[in-house]
Amino acid sequence: MIGDNLPSRTDVVQFYQSQGIGAMRIYAPDQETLRALDGTGIDLIMDVGNDNLAALASGPDAASAWVRDNVLPHPGVRIKYIAAGNEVPDAGTGSILPAMQNLNGALLAAGRGDIKVTTAIKMSVLASSSPPSEGAFKDAYMTEVARFLASTGAPLLANVYPYFAYIDNPSDIPLSYATFQPGTTTVGDNNGLTYTNLFDAMVDALYTAMEKAGSPAVPIVVSESGWPSDGGVGASIVNAQTYNQNLINHVGNGTPKRPGPLETYIFAMFNENLKEGHETENHFGLFNGPDKSPAYPINWECLLVSRLIFFWSSVRFPNQ
C-alpha cells in the first residue's frame, strides 16, 4: 500500500483469487481492504497498528471499541490472527501483553473466540541465537507473552530475515548459507542437530527460547521473510529469486528441531516506491504495480496451496 503506482485494494484481492492465493496480512485495519475481502475465503492476519497499542492496553473498553469497529462489521472476512504490535520498539513493549489480554477478552465477549490474538516480533528479542540451542529471550515481558499465548492456543508471529543477518555479518555468514543453497556450510548445534541454512537456525533459536520460557507447545508462525531485489548489499534479482524460491521449496519440511510444515509468509506482495527507510525497503516485492507483473519468476508448483499477503505484503505457506 505504500506506493503511488499500486493496484486498488479490490484489484489486489481479485488478483489473489485469480492466482489461488489463500491468505493475506495487513498492518492496520484498512476498511476498504476488509470490504474487498468479504466473502472471498481468504485468511487474514490483521495488525492493530503500533500507534494503537497503548490505547488498547489502557483498558477493556478501548479493546471492545476496536473489535466493534474493525471486526464485527466484517463477519464475512476470515480473520485468523490479530497482531497486537509488529516489532514493537523497546519503549512500547510494556503495552503488548495488556493489549493482547484486552483484545482477547473483547473477542470472547463478542463471540469471536475463533480469532487468535498474538504479536509479531523480530529476532532482536533474543539475547542469544547461535547456536540455536542457546536461544533465549532477553526481556521478561517475552516470557509473559509466551505464557499468555500458551494459555489461549495462539502462535507467536516472528519476522525472520536471514538477509539482515547476512548483511550485518557477511564475513562470517556465507551467502549460500543465507539463501538455502545446497552443499553449503553445515553448522552443528549443542543438541546434536545440524543446520544447512540460516533460516532454520533462526527459527529453532526461537523454539528454544519458547521452551526456556516454559511454553514449548506454542507454535511459531513466520509472519515475514524475504529478500530484496535491489538497493543494497546482497540485494539482487538473482539473490531474491534464489532465497524466495528455496524458502518456498523448504518450509514444507519444517526445521531440524520441529519437522513438519511451517506456516510462513513471504514479504512482500509488491515493490513499494514510497516506503521510507533504506532503499532496499522499496524492493522486497514479488510483483510490480500497477500491472501486477512478476518482479522475477517464482515456481509455486511445489506447494499444495500458495498464500500471499499485502499492505507491506507477504506469501504464506499452509500449515496443513
| Beta strand 156-159 pairing with 23-26 | unpaired
Set 32, 134, 224, 279: catalytic member = 224
DSSP state of 304: S
Q: Please indicate whether residue 224 is annotated as part of the active site.
A: yes
Please choose, from the candidates 90, 87, 119, 152, the residue with its C-alpha nearest in 3D space to the C-alpha of residue 221.
119
From the number of C-beta atoms within 10 Å of its C-beta (0-12, 13-18, 19+), residue 140 rates as exposed
DSSP codes of every residue in 140-188: HHHHHHHHHHHHHTPPEEEE--HHHHHHH-TTTS-HHHHTT-TT---EE
Set 87, 134, 211, 281: catalytic member = 87
Q: Please indicate whether residue 32 is annotated as part of the active site.
A: no
Nine-digit cell string for 267: 514479504
Omega before 219 within 30 of 0, i.e. cis: no
199 CB neighbour count, 10 Å cutoff: 26
Active site residues: 87, 224
